[in-house]
Structure 1
Amino acid sequence: MIPSAVCYRCDRKYQDDRVRCDCGEPLWFDADSTGVDFSTRSEAQGLWRYAELLPVSGLEGIATAAGRTPLVRSRRLDRVAGCRVYVKDESENPTGSYKDRGSAVAVSRGLQRGTDVVGTVSYGNMAMSTAAHAASLGCECVVLVPTDIQPGRLELIAQYDPTILQVEGDYGDLYHEVLKLNRDLPVSFLPSDAPGRISGYKTALFEIYESLAPETPDAIALPASSGGFASGLWRGILDLQNAGLLETPPRLYLVQTAASDPITRAFDANRDEVSALSTEAVGETIAHSIGNPDPPSGTRALTAVRQTGGAVCSVTDDDIRDAQRQYAQRSGLCVEPASAAPLAGVARLGARGEIDDDETVVLVPTGTGFKEMGTGSESVQTETVTRSALSSRLESRLSG
């Protein structure tokens, strides 16, 4: 059966692969989860464990390696976060980020529906992921990036041999431009909240549920940019509730960079819709991947937070740097700046009394920090010693 694309807000259904409803809100695929029972399922590989809840007929290439990331109990982060911490390490995906979940489903669906070329708008993890998945399936890929993209990021994207177009002008407007191009050109552009991507993202929620069963986490905290990943986790929660497998949903906590935080502002102002920030209201940040001033699924993500009883907050670059250090030194994980934000955010929410110290919170680092090594401003402090002085110097350091 061909799945319907459904609007979460007005329930209107579409049989094509459009991204947005006529009401203006983004769509997702409607999957009948009635009767789903994960405990009786065979050990399928990766995302295909949830095959009946995905809008594809099969997965090939590196799509078969997406998902099944570890959920790690990180006791040494408890004191930092102020609660019981589990870490869902999405850096274990093929290209190092959660975007592989979305690309695995969206790119595969595009090919199964007869497209010859896929594309996306991104200068980071989604660009790398889309290009990699297309390459593994022998599909052409087009990536639209801004003119001021860092050379290092271009190199990471280019290794998969997509067509890369640096586009002049307001980069944020490209989201809406590619929706028009989808109608006019033989290219299937897969933006951040394409329905296929949302279906892939929800599998992270299923894995968290299975890993902790029979318990469920009190909350899940993740970085927020376009709102796509938050939408996927919410869709996963709804699927489990419809299946009768989840009685009380985990609270969703979204964390943004204070330099660009439209969802936080809408939450704090008790608004039901997210408004784009003006250019003057946006600052510089080290967390580039969540510095989105006009998130296309922002209102849906805000709705997910309200429906689950969660919250949205923002953290500074200094908070993010400290959280990165805590991740590395207390859990052994190297995470990108955006991925460190939830740890800082949960600590802030706990201090506000919104999270109790005995509650279980799953932090979701969405991408590896290894891609950004060598691009930071911090110098590494080292010391040179002679071989003859090595023993005495070590003794001095260890005793100090």
Structure 2
Amino acid sequence: MRRVCWQCGNRTDDERRVRCDCGEPLWLDTDPESVPDSWPARVESMWDALPLLGLDQPEPPAGLPTAAGGTPLFRTESLDTEGVSVHVKHEGLNPTGSFKDRGTAFGVAEMVERGETRIGTVSHGNMAESVAAGAAAAGMDCTVLVPADIADERLAAIARYDPRLVRVDGDYGRLYYESLAVGRKAGVRFLNSDAPWRVAGQATTALEVLAQFHRRGDVNLDFSGAGRQSPAPDALVLPVSSGGHASGAWQAVRTLTAAGLLDSAPKLCFVQAAACAPIAEAFARGDDEVTAVEGGETIAYSIANADPPSGNRALAAARATGGAVVAVDDDAIERAGERFAGAGVAVEPASATTLAALSPLRERGALEDGDTAALVATGRGFGTGGAAVDADRVELSALGSLFE
């Protein structure tokens, strides 16, 4: 699978490369001509939707990776806001409770196919739990790097899958970049937030939404004149943190449009918590590049990324599709979470931002009266691990000596 830079177009066959020489992240080089001529007859897992990305996809290994994706998309009239019809893509029903299982499943499958056995990630939340679970299912050696001050309940949730857990002193924000260099030397594939294989797996969220809209005729859409092309929601609304999931959505939309499966692409609309919103701030300024921020505390802690490694790509995705990036404060997030619960959907605060974003998206003109929006509820919230973790099982290390 060749990697290509979304920004400068440079390509590489180096399977270990994650970022281009220009500094931007790579993604897998998709081929619209390899996309099937028709939509899948069923979407029971991410593997049913993945052929729509036009890749030579790996075979899913037995066990947990086969269960990723295939989450429901449903109409929720009680969540309609200011004339916008709402549908919810419930990613909390993935095996470990978040969309992260999609990228993990693809990454694990590719590694199994190549005979690789050492996987790692940098995370103190949903991605850490997902990678640890995926590695356990595949019998892989797993290393999870977490900040030294990680909360005990988070540590316990990750530790139950028995990875090598390492608290790392120093600047946690730099771990993403430093882990790539250390992992390359040590032969550990770090499946971080915007690794090309993770982005490809996470692209299946958007692929599924679009396939599900195609298959359903009872969602307030006009499906007259059924043919190869398909209508889409007017907007796909996702929380954005590192920009990896946003990148996957853009890759999906670009590929399907080039393949001729879409009449028109949905607007990609992203939302951040106001306390830590570098991408939204760059969008509001009209900048082409995202500038790191200090970042404050927010209840949507899982998307509080002050220096997103794929921020520029997410920014470009919103602009290229006529979408927008907005920020919402904690009060709005709490109210949105209550509205989700009132509709019978339990989501984490990061997911609630999608509903809170509808009003500001209307104000910006990204959404209009009568539009249809698919909200991606990315997770049900970070799981609890039960018993406390034995301190002897958790290492404390400087990154440079990690694999010595």
TM-score range, shorter chain: 0.7 to 0.9
Q: Deviations over 1:199-218 (max 9, x none)?
A: 10111111111111143100
1:13 — aligned with what?
Answer: 11
SS at structure 2 position matched to 1:39: coil
SS at structure 2 position matched to 1:145: strand
SS at structure 2 position matched to 1:197: helix
**Cα distance change, pair 76–169 in 1 and its aligned pair in 2 (3 A):** same
2:151 — aligned with what?
Answer: 150
Partners of 2:285 and 2:146 in 1: how far apart?
A: 33
Letter aligned with residue 10 of structure 1: C
**Normalised TM-score (structure 1):** 0.88
**Normalised TM-score (structure 2):** 0.87
SS at structure 2 position matched to 1:95: coil
Q: Post-superposition shift, 1:54?
A: 4.2
Match status 1:251 vs 2:267: yes
Partners of 2:297 and 2:41 in 1: how far apart?
A: 48
> Stretches of 4+ moved more than 6 A in 1?
none
1:230 to 246, 250, 260: 246
Partners of 1:88 and 1:44 in 2: how far apart?
A: 13
Higher relative contact order (CA 8 A, sep 6+): 2
1:355 to 358, 364, 367: 367
- The 5 A counterparts of 1:232-311 are 232-277=248-293, 279=294, 282-311=295-324
Q: Is the 8 A contact 2:58 2:106 kept in 1?
A: no
Q: Is the 8 A contact 2:49 2:208 kept in 1?
A: no
SS at structure 1 position matched to 2:210: helix
Q: Which moved more, 1:49-58 or 1:245-254?
A: 49-58
Partners of 2:83 and 2:302 in 1: how far apart?
A: 26
Q: Deviations over 1:151-187 (max 9, x none)?
A: 1111111111100000111100001101111321121
Partners of 2:31 and 2:318 in 1: how far apart?
A: 23
Identity of aligned residues (%): 49
Partners of 1:373 and 1:163 in 2: how far apart?
A: 16
1:130 — aligned with what?
Answer: 131
Letter aligned with residue 366 of structure 2: E
Q: Post-superposition shift, 1:114?
A: 2.9
1:191 — aligned with what?
Answer: 192
RMSD: 1.9
2:78 — aligned with what?
Answer: 76
Q: Is the 8 A contact 2:231 2:263 kept in 1?
A: no
SS at structure 2 position matched to 1:363: strand
Q: Post-superposition shift, 1:149?
A: 0.9
Q: Deviations over 1:358-378 (max 9, x none)?
A: 10000001010373799xxxx
Letter aligned with residue 140 of structure 1: D
Q: Is the 8 A contact 1:82 1:350 kept in 2?
A: no
Q: Post-superposition shift, 1:31?
A: 1.9
1:378 — aligned with what?
Answer: none
Q: Is the 8 A contact 2:157 2:385 kept in 1?
A: no
1:32 — aligned with what?
Answer: 31
Q: Is the 8 A contact 2:199 2:247 kept in 1?
A: yes
Q: Which has the larger radius of gyration?
A: 1
Q: Is the 8 A contact 2:268 2:322 kept in 1?
A: yes
